[in-house]
């Protein structure tokens, strides 16, 4: 009986060590990352919202995550966030540990993230990469990722931002996501809506199947691919009857930059994100999403 009692006491002590190792071993638990600050940024469109994420005094060297819901869904859920494993909850992870990542934030450093049809770059991933809904309010929150020294931060306060009002009539534009899913290899129940069988990017002519393969290729840190996605969409919009006047100069500049580079996976062309300004890609995206030009198709 004495042995059994001693064994029981020993098990309880070992269990306590397993459940509370830091306190039992006299080690203070890790501190947390500072909560970042999330605000609505300029440049939102009918189908996307720009968010600015700023790190606190600890920085966010491992990056951060963002969650979002429509305000209507949030209110319908009793002003409570859906569970993190609920497939209806939209989430984006922005790792600061990935090669060429722009999300390893120093203390006080800020970065802008376009939520909608993401310009996915190194370290970014999401379960909701489609366009947002025009004229709709959304709720966002974020937290800074843990690293080897600090635990992940608490969530930020909720931030509300909205897409621009629904507009767009004859000659309106569609996003690159629309054209990707309505091409020669359509997705789901969609049909091929392309009015062309080939397009020129830079000085190189591509067939419609080659253009579809470019759409289907992740950017993976290659600015040439993200630029091509938006350039193809802009040219498809114009072929579909959209007014090109607001974007003609940008298209010419993009073609000049691409030159004879052959876009992956058709070729091995590459533009480095650290030496290639993103303004052309952003301008083309603004046209395709309706921020400039005739407006986005509803």
Q: Is residue 5 part of a domain?
A: no
Show the low-confidence residues of the chain (pLDDT under 70).
Answer: 1-28, 118-121, 168-169
In this structure, the answer to whether residues 60 and 145 fall within a common structural domain is yes
Instruction: Return d(Cα 155, Cα 57) in angstroms, integer.
Output: 16
What does the pLDDT read at residue 129?
Answer: 82
Amino acid 17: pLDDT: 40
**pLDDT for the residue 5:** 35
Which of 275, 71, 257, 244 is CA-nearest to residue 159?
71
Same domain, 197 and 241: yes
Question: 158 and 41 in one domain?
Answer: yes
Give residue-wise pLDDT tens across range 181-234: 999 999 999 999 999 999 999 999 999 999 999 999 988 889 999 999 999 999
Among 107, 136, 162, residue at a domain's last position: 162
What's the total number of domains in the chain? 2
Please state, in angstroms and rounded to a whole number, the distance separating the CA atoms of residues 43 and 49. Answer: 7
- Answer whether residue 14 is part of any domain: no
Shared-domain flag, residues 211 and 157: no
- DSSP H helices in the chain: 2-19, 21-24, 71-76, 176-181, 208-215, 223-239, 248-258, 279-288
134 part of a folded domain: yes
- Here the tokens at position 163 are 């897409």
141 and 212 together in one domain: no
Q: Are 177 and 225 in contact (CB under 8 A)?
A: no
Residues 152 and 186 in one domain: no
**Residue 158 shares a structural domain with residue 51:** yes
Specify the 3-state DSSP secondary structure of 139: strand
Domain containing 188 equals: 176-288
Q: Does residue 46 share a domain with residue 116?
A: yes
Evaluate whether residue 88 is within a structural domain. yes
């Amino acid at each position: 009986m004495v042995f059994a009692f001693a064994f029981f006491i020993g098990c309880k002590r070992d269990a306590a060590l397993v459940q509370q190792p830091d306190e039992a071993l006299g080690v203070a638990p890790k501190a947390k990352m500072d909560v970042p600050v999330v605000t609505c940024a300029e440049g939102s469109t009918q189908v996307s919202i720009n968010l600015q994420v700023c790190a606190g005094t600890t920085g966010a060297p491992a990056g951060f995550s963002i969650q979002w819901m429509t305000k209507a869904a949030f209110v319908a859920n009793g002003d409570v966030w859906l569970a993190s494993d609920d497939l209806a909850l939209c989430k984006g992870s922005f790792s600061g540990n990935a090669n060429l990542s722009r999300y390893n934030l120093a203390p006080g450093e800020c970065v802008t993230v376009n939520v909608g049809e993401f310009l996915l770059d190194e370290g970014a991933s999401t379960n909701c990469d489609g366009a947002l809904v025009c004229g709709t309010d959304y709720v966002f929150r974020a937290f800074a990722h843990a690293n080897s020294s600090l635990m992940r931060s608490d969530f930020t306060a909720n931030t509300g931002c909205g897409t621009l009002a629904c507009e767009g009539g004859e000659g309106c534009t569609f996003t690159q996501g629309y054209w990707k899913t309505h091409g020669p290899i359509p997705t789901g129940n969609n049909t091929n809506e392309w009015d062309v069988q080939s397009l020129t990017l830079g000085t190189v002519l591509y067939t419609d199947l080659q253009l579809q393969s470019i759409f289907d290729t992740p950017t993976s840190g290659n600015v040439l691919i993200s630029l091509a996605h938006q350039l193809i969409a802009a040219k498809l919009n114009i072929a579909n009857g959209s007014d090109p006047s607001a974007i003609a100069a940008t298209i010419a500049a993009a073609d000049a930059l691409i030159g004879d580079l052959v876009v992956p996976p058709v070729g091995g062309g590459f533009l480095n994100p650290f030496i290639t300004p993103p303004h052309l890609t952003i301008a083309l995206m603004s046209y395709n999403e309706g921020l400039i030009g005739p407006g986005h198709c509803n």
